[in-house]
């Protein structure tokens, strides 16, 4: 007899069910689109466009794409004030942070240069 997730959840205690629902909400909150991240950071497409030196329509296109160059994604994240990290996950092993995949964008290079100069 096959079981589906609804059957399993129905058999959980209210406390267990609440834990499952809370964790599900956390996982959903951790996954955001570029557009959602930009809006959460209260940035406009125009502000990102200015930082990237492209038009607002270019930002719109980036946000709609599902397949981006890593360098484009890195530049977009840096324009929002963030830093892009790539992590590979394998079974039976701790996650591995990938390095050397794409050159750092000008924002990260300038930030690193200023940090070393101040030290």
> 69 with 102, same domain?
yes
Per-residue confidence in pLDDT tens, the chain, 119 aa: 667 777 888 888 999 988 888 887 777 677 889 999 999 899 999 999 999 999 999 999 999 998 999 999 999 999 999 999 998 999 999 999 988 876 565 554 554 455 455 54
Q: With 0-12 CB in 10 A as exposed, 13-18 as middle and 19+ as buried, what is 75?
A: buried
Domain count, the chain: 2
> 77 with 22, same domain?
no
> 90 with 69, same domain?
yes
Q: Which of 98, 96, 48, 40 is nearest to 72 (CA)?
A: 48
- CATH code at 95? 1.10.260
Task: Tell me how far apart the alpha carbons of residues 33 and 83 are, in angstroms, rounded to a whole number.
Answer: 15
> 12 with 60, same domain?
no
> 21 with 50, same domain?
no
Residues 6+ apart with CB under 8 A from 84: 70, 73, 74, 77, 78
| Structure-token match 């492209």, residue found | 54
């Amino acid at each position: 007899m096959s079981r589906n997730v609804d059957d399993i959840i129905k058999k959980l205690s209210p406390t267990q069910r609440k834990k499952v629902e809370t964790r599900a909400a956390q996982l959903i909150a951790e996954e955001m689109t570029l557009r959602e991240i930009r809006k959460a950071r209260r940035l406009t497409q125009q502000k990102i466009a200015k930082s990237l030196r492209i038009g607002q329509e270019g930002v719109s296109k980036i946000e709609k794409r599902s397949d981006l160059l890593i360098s484009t994604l890195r530049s977009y994240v840096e324009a929002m004030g963030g830093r892009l990290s790539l992590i590979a996950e394998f079974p039976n092993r701790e996650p591995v942070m990938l390095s050397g995949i794409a050159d750092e964008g000008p924002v990260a290079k300038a930030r690193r240069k200023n940090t070393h100069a101040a030290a």
